[in-house]
Structure 1
């Protein structure tokens, strides 16, 4: 619960700071939607990457002529496949709140970096025999660091790519090596 409040406090303080700076900037805040493909994995020798989807909303808040803060709220379908039995999948569904700091290299091209706070909404192992909840085996919170880029073909439509490296151990009561999420996203974005 403390991590949830910490994540929300960081997001709110970032938004507050960004809104103050945006008032000083000549550009206005823009809102948008984004969606695309996730390729996720966990750092476990018995697993391999699995495809999923993501989608959500964002606000782009200019803080200077080339800098902006972009908080987002996304659904992220993450997890991994079993290396031996490819029909067995670990499905980890999160509501993620990335807060990305963006720098425009060109008016259409940006690079970004920032934290991502993720809150589990479903944790299941799915196989040929159905699915089983594994909420007790995994933590409800995940923290990661993202690095990405994007290009807007027009002022409103663009493509995005991002890698998020997990920092926290997602396994509950894990005596061994930390199990972390890793995520690569590619998708499209549209600003209103």
Structure 2
């Protein structure tokens, strides 16, 4: 929680500073405010995939929010943002349990999607290769608002030569008490403005912190590729 407060305090400070600079700047490279939106392609990185057959796939989501671009040098600027961002992953998992003593065999196949909703605060340092083209890097602070897990489960029970197959579907809210509310990552990206107002953006954010509390066996982190559009106000 302390990291969340520090991140929000940093955002507030940058936005207040941006407003002061905008009032002082009448030419050159003024401070610019804007809005952005687009798609997320996210997945979990799992440092331990030895539990059965385990496969993570990309889940699509979206992001939307506001930003302010603050010039700090001739080719450098700082861009804090405040976004609502959907992350998560698609997971396929298979495992088998057998008991040789009584001939009992169980096979289970999971296919489910985890949707995680975050309020995120990226703070990007941008280098302008050209007036309309930039590359960027910086930290991203996230706060988990909630989420849902939904998918299908197939179970095959074999006993005494007879096999029973059950198919189930589920949709549940994630157990928030198991998740860490704070998420931290590092973003790398680029952007191009076709006009003074309209541009396209791309960013990859690699998760640093673990998603779950008390997870000593292995780490599971958020990764997300963001593609979108941005509009700067005059």
Q: Structure 2 length normalisation: TM-score?
A: 0.75
Name 1:112's counterpart in structure 2.
136
Residue 193 of structure 2 corresponds to residue 152 of structure 1: yes
Taking structure 1 as reference, are residues 16 and 64 closer, same or farther at Cα in structure 2, changes over 3 Å only? farther
Between Structure 1 and Structure 2, how many residues are aligned? 192
Name 2:113's counterpart in structure 1.
89
The runs of 5 or more residues in structure 1 that have no matched partner are none
The runs of 5 or more residues in structure 2 that have no matched partner are 94-108, 152-168
Q: CA deviation at 1:163?
A: 0.5
Q: Structure 1 length normalisation: TM-score?
A: 0.90
Pick the aligned partner of 1:75 from 65, 84, 106: 84
- The within-5 A match list for 1:8-157 is 8-14=8-14, 26-44=28-46, 45=49, 46=54, 47-84=56-93, 87-127=111-151, 128-157=169-198
1:51-95 CA distance string (max 9 Å, x none) = 111111111111122111111001110000112467511111100
Separation (CA, whole Å) in 2 of partners of 1:187 and 1:97: 17
Separation (CA, whole Å) in 1 of partners of 2:32 and 2:17: 16
User: SS in structure 2 opposite 1:6?
Assistant: helix
Deviates more, 1:44-53 or 1:78-87: 78-87
Q: 2:31·2:70 contact (CA, 8 Å) conserved in 1?
A: yes
Separation (CA, whole Å) in 1 of partners of 2:34 and 2:145: 23
Structure number with bigger Rg = 2
Separation (CA, whole Å) in 1 of partners of 2:21 and 2:127: 15
Name 1:2's counterpart in structure 2.
2
Hey, which of these two has a bigger chunk of strand by percent? 2
Separation (CA, whole Å) in 1 of partners of 2:110 and 2:128: 41
> After TM superposition, where is structure 1 displaced by more than 3 Å over at least 4 residues in a row?
9-26, 84-87
Deviates more, 1:13-22 or 1:40-49: 13-22
